């Protein structure tokens, strides 16, 4: 990790010299697991649309506004499908249909706010649980409303709150979640100015017309994202890629994660299902097939690389540690250079190319919270320039930088940082932003690995998915659910439509997000929320199979913290 500020700049180059420009690939992963309760169709957690309102929309704005901005957006198909569901729900609500099946979003509609305020406590908790500090502290009236909601829940006095209070809370909650690009919308700006103009919190500050206007803006943003991404893809500057449909940990499915208690039955077939469904969803959204994509935490193994290649995924992404371990395994006893050449790596006998995420550059954004945005962007580019100098004698170098969700502590979600970053990059003549697919067209930028050691860029390799009793119990429960599904298929107890529903539900259970959020090191609310959602998915699968829920599912429930814990998850 870079721990010393960089103050020098890249050296100048005389006219008779040929400059080596370092190829860099800026990547962002846009994913949210399936938050929909399969039995009721309700969205039980609001993160898919809330993050779309802010960082997804803001990043898209930057890529549209900067004429030279080049990047790779990796999209999970399950996120695309949820955005489509939200778009449908919002459009229907605006046409006078039922409120959205998301309790937080539904607060913007009259039908989504129960008249009987005795039913308010779950709604107040839902808003509080989706208001992390950077959102809660954005506007003073919103801070006051949240504090009133906490006090009302603690004192059991929520029935004393007025209907105007709930309208105001709904309005400020969504105004606070709107990203900086949405704040520039004159409709949003007018609503914020109206809300701030009246001094201390006053009930009924926002009326029904105000909330409908806010709902229109939210709808425009959610419905517009996929078309905007499609247009960016058409520019050639932005590559879109896809993870397998439900965001599963393919190496675990394929039996290459040694610490799991059981092998996943029929894992190869399930991997193919997720990859096929991903390409189908990608083609439906963008009209072309995805040429690459990465797995949770950059997890890879030779079998997963081959599976990706079998569905036209020509590249994937992993960690530098995986490449270093693979080079060691391929040449036992050989001394490795301190600086592994950044390349696209081909594995002997396996289709596809593996790129390595630059660990230090990808981790830098976590150190910039509290910095001036312009200074942070300049510092980042200076570190990037140092990397370019390190590889000045290597014209085939390719450095991948993952700009993930590490800007959560910034008041503006990192909006100004990204604006300055793209501007600084456009000024450099020592780096060349590109895409993975563009690099694939340059064979000189690729090198060979004789073997690929399974691993990821997460600390401890696969530990984030397998370490601890909660994760082991979750894995056993998933394996048991898969065996129950297989038995139903073999016995022919399901007709074609029922089998398709059960298979889709199994895919929701297979997401790597659920075990990742388990374990004592995770926030209590996250463990409770994701654990409860995982259990609900499993139970509904057994309901579809007409089978009793086995003991290991109940065992997992007993290990989870209570959902009433007050930590905020984002």
Decide if 523 contacts 530 (C-beta within 8 A).
Answer: no
The pLDDT assigned to 202 comes to 61
Same domain, 140 and 186: yes
Nearest partner of 41 among 94, 95, 91, 106, judged by Cα: 106
H-type alpha helices, 403-468: 415-427, 436-440, 463-466
pLDDT at residue 37 in the model: 84
pLDDT value of position 569:
38
Q: What is the pLDDT of residue 552?
A: 92
Looking at the fold, whether 437 and 404 belong to one and the same domain comes out as yes
pLDDT at residue 444, as a whole number: 86
Q: Do residues 89 and 26 both lie within one domain? A: no
Residue 209, CB half-sphere, CA atoms under 13 Å: how many?
3
Give the C-alpha separation, 123 to 163, whole Å.
13
Q: Indicate whether 205 and 231 sit together in one domain.
A: no
Query: What angle separates helix 140-155 from helix 121-129, to the nearest 10 degrees?
Result: 130
179 plus 239 within the same structural domain: no
Q: Do 76 and 30 contact (CB within 8 A), yes or no?
A: yes
Residue 89 belongs to domain spanning = 83-223
| pTM attached to this predicted model | 0.92
Q: For position 201, what pLDDT does the model report? A: 62
Number of domains comprising the chain: 3
Please list, in sequence order, all residues whose beta carbon lies within 8 angstroms of the beta carbon of residue 210, skipping any fewer than 6 positions away: 171, 191, 194
For residue 282, give every residue at least 6 positions away whose Cβ sits within 8 Å of its Cβ, in sequence order, or none: 75, 77, 80, 240, 242, 288, 289, 290
What pLDDT is stored for residue 16 in this prediction?
Answer: 38
Same domain, 317 and 422: yes
In a domain, 369, yes or no: yes
SS3 content of the chain, % helix, strand, coil (to 5): 55, 10, 35
Residues 135 and 206 in one domain: yes
Question: CA 329 → CA 235, 302, 468, distances in Å?
Answer: 41, 14, 28
| Angle of CA points 47, 41, 167, to nearest 5° | 55
Is 309 inside a domain boundary?
yes
Same domain, 103 and 207: yes
Q: Tell whether 383 is covered by a domain.
A: yes
Same domain, 297 and 432: yes
For residue 287, what is the DSSP state? S
Pick the last residue of a domain from 388, 417, 449. 449
- Going residue by residue through the chain (570 aa), what tens digit of pLDDT does each one get? 333 233 333 333 333 344 368 999 999 999 999 998 878 888 889 999 999 999 999 999 999 999 999 999 999 999 999 999 999 999 999 999 999 999 999 999 999 999 888 889 999 999 999 999 989 999 999 999 999 999 999 999 888 888 899 999 999 999 999 999 999 999 999 999 999 987 666 666 899 999 999 999 999 999 999 999 999 999 999 999 999 999 999 999 999 998 898 899 999 999 999 999 999 999 999 999 999 999 999 999 999 999 999 999 999 999 999 999 999 999 888 888 888 889 999 999 999 999 999 999 998 877 887 889 999 999 999 999 999 999 998 989 999 999 875 566 777 888 999 999 999 999 999 999 999 999 999 888 899 999 999 999 999 999 999 999 999 999 999 999 999 999 999 999 999 999 999 999 999 999 999 999 999 999 998 899 999 999 999 999 999 999 999 999 999 999 998 865 433 334
For the chain, give the longest Cα–Cα distance.
79
**CB-count burial class (<10 Å; 0-12, 13-18, 19+) for 6:** middle
pLDDT value of residue 364? 85
Same domain for 72 and 108, yes or no, is: no
Q: What is the CATH number of the domain that holds 412?
A: 3.20.110.20
pLDDT at 562: 82
**CATH (domain of 513):** 1.20.1430
Exposed, middle or buried by CB within 10 Å (0-12, 13-18, 19+), for 243? buried
Task: Verify that 219 and 335 share a domain, yes or no.
Answer: no
Same domain membership, residue 230 and residue 110: no
Residue 254 resides in a domain: no
pLDDT at 333: 81
How far from each other are the two terminal CA atoms of the chain, in whole angstroms?
A: 26
Domain final residue pick, 419, 449, 479:
449
Residue 564 lies in a domain: no
């Amino acid at each position: 990790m870079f721990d010393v500020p960089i103050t020098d700049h890249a050296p100048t180059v005389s006219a008779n010299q040929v400059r080596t420009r370092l190829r860099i690939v800026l990547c962002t992963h846009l994913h949210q697991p399936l938050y929909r309760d399969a039995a009721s169709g309700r969205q039980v957690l609001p993160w898919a649309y809330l993050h779309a309102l802010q960082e997804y929309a803001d990043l898209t704005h930057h890529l549209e506004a900067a004429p030279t901005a080049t990047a790779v957006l990796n999209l999970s198909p399950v996120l695309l499908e949820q955005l489509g569901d939200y778009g449908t729900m919002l459009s229907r609500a605006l046409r006078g249909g039922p409120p959205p099946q998301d309790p937080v979003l539904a607060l913007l509609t009259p039908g989504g706010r129960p008249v009987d305020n005795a039913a308010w406590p779950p709604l107040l908790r839902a808003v509080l649980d989706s208001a992390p500090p950077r959102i809660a502290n954005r506007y003073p009236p919103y801070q006051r409303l949240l504090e009133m909601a906490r006090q009302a829940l603690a004192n059991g006095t929520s029935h004393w709150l007025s209907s105007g209070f709930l309208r105001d809370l709904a309005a400020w909650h969504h105004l606070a979640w709107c990203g900086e690009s949405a704040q520039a919308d004159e409709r949003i700006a007018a609503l914020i100015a109206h809300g701030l103009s009246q001094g201390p919190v006053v009930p009924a500050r926002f009326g029904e017309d105000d909330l409908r206007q806010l709902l229109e803006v939210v709808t425009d943003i959610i419905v517009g994202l996929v078309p905007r991404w499609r247009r960016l893809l058409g520019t050639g500057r932005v590559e879109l890629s896809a993870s397998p449909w439900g965001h599963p940990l393919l190496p675990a499915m394929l039996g290459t994660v040694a610490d799991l208690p059981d092998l996943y039955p029929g894992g190869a077939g399930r991997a193919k299902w997720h990859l096929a469904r991903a390409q189908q969803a990608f083609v439906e959204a963008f009209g072309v097939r995805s040429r690459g994509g990465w797995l949770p935490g950059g997890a890879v193994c030779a079998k997963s690389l081959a599976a990706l290649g079998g569905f036209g995924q020509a590249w994937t992404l992993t960690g530098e540690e995986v490449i270093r371990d693979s080079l060691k395994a391929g040449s036992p006893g050989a001394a490795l250079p301190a600086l592994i050449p950044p390349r696209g790596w081909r594995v002997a006998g396996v289709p596809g190319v593996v790129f390595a995420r630059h660990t230090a550059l990808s981790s830098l954004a976590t150190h910039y919270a509290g910095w001036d945005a312009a200074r942070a962007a300049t510092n980042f580019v200076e570190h990037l320039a140092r990397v370019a100098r390190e590889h000045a004698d290597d014209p085939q170098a390719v450095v991948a930088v993952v700009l993930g969700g590490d800007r959560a502590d910034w008041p503006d979600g990192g909006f100004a940082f990204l604006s300055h970053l793209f501007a600084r990059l456009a000024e450099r003549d020592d780096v060349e932003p590109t895409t993975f697919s563009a690099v694939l067209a340059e064979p000189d930028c690729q090198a060979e690995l004789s073997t690929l050691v399974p691993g990821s860029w997460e600390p401890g390799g696969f530990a984030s998915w397998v370490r601890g009793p909660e994760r082991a119990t979750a894995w056993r429960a998933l394996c048991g659910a898969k065996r129950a599904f297989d038995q139903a298929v073999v016995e022919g107890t399901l007709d074609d439509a029922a089998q398709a529903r059960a298979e889709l539900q199994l895919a929701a259970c297979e997401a790597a997000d659920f075990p990742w959020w388990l374990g004592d090191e995770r926030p209590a609310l996250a463990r409770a929320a994701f654990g409860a959602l995982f259990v609900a998915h499993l139970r509904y699968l057994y309901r579809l199979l007409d089978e009793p829920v086995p003991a290991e599912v109940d065992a997992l429930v007993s290990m989870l913290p209570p959902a009433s814990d007050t930590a905020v998850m984002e």
